[in-house]
Amino acid sequence: MSSIDRIVLAEVVGEELSKLNRDDLLDVSKEVRQVLSFCLSRLLSCAKFIELVHDVVKSLHQIRFSKVISDLVPSAAREESFIDLNFLREIARELYTYYLVLLFGLSDEELRIPVKFEEDVVIGERRYRAFSSKLIRVSEALALLRSRAKIRMLVPRALVEYSNTLLSETK
């Protein structure tokens, strides 16, 4: 059974949030890279596989997010009654992006991703100069994007555009 099968099965079967650690995600990203490498080396289309991984990412983030907030949100409440509904949707989108980056193997083993700073940014005692590029944790990159800092996560543009298209279709 592959790593991705184990993760999905554990999440779907259990009522509690299953334990998901960095090694599990690294195993999955390794498997994804191997399959992409295989199909690209033989000039095959990877579109179906990418769609499959996207579906897993979408389902995984939705299931995990819903398990976390299920006790906090009354099930009978109407959508209009939630003042924080847009905020929760934004958080869900960030979680989706987080899994997308990790499962497609776009981060290194320390869960860092290359980021280009388009303005000076200070995180704690660390200062990043405008027009520099650094590896920072995926969670920090997403927090910076959320705070409207002018940064770009350096991931393949095609994957970003494809995932944004799929995300807009699900709304």
Is the predicted pLDDT of residue 56 greater than 70, yes or no? yes
Is the predicted pLDDT of residue 166 greater than 60, yes or no? no
DSSP string, 89-152: HHHHHHHHHHHHHHHTT-S-TTSEEEEEESS-EEETTEEE-TT-EEEEEHHHHHHHHHTT--EE
Q: Give 102-159 pLDDT, tens digit per residue.
A: 888 888 889 999 999 999 998 888 899 999 999 999 999 999 988 999 998 887 666 6
Mean pLDDT of 2-12: 85
Q: Give 67-116 pLDDT, tens digit per residue.
A: 777 655 555 455 555 566 677 778 888 888 888 888 888 888 899 999 99
Q: How confident is the model at residue 168 (pLDDT cuts 50, 70, 90)?
A: low
How far, in Å, CA of 126 to CA of 55, rounded?
36
Contacts of 144 (CB under 8 A, 6+ apart): 115, 121, 123, 136, 151
First-to-last C-alpha distance (Å) of the chain? 33
21: helix, strand or coil: coil
Note the pLDDT of residue 23: 87
Note the pLDDT of residue 112: 92
- β pairing state of 133-137 and 112-117: antiparallel
Q: Give 18-41 pLDDT, tens digit per residue.
A: 888 888 888 888 998 898 888 888
Which has more confidence, 156 or 59?
59
Note the pLDDT of residue 52: 87
- The pTM of the full predicted model, rounded to 2 decimals, is 0.66
Q: What is the C-alpha radius of gyration for the chain, rounded to an integer number of angstroms?
A: 17
